[in-house]
Amino acid sequence: MKPSEHDLSEPWKAVLLLAFGASTSALIATLGDVGARPLDLLLFGASLGALVTAGLWLWILAAKRSLGWGLAFMATIWVPYVNLVVASIYARRYWSEGARTPALLAIAGMVGQTIATLRVFFPSFTPPV
């Protein structure tokens, strides 16, 4: 598959944007009543939204590539950490063929999740941003 074949159509880009916004908003609305600080809610929501969007993006690319990859993503989506392993194997294997952007988005989401977690466990922790 050529890199140009990994380009997503406009409807798929709209679905990814909607997934990012919906997952971020849902988490902020769900956790808004627990008394978390607004920065923590935004960071946690945005990083989770990035992970959801990157996972969906990689699944779309994998399903376009082959039925086997699409089924592998579908079979492991609910298995914690196994889904990350499958996604990272796919992203590493097809890094130069279009999987770079969603992989970098997932890495940014994981960094955001790490910072958000540190802020929960260590309230005096300030992100280096």
Q: Is 26 exposed, middle or buried (0-12, 13-18, 19+ CB in 10 A)?
A: middle
Domain ranges of the chain: 9-121
pLDDT tens for each residue of 105-117: 888 989 998 888 8
pLDDT tens for each residue of 27-86: 888 877 777 778 888 888 888 888 888 888 888 888 888 888 888 888 888 887 888 888
114 within 8 A of 19, measured Cβ to Cβ? no
Q: What is the pTM of this model?
A: 0.77
Residue-level pLDDT at 95: 84
The string of DSSP letters for 5-37 reads GGPPPHHHHHHHHHHHHHHHHHHHHHHGGGT--
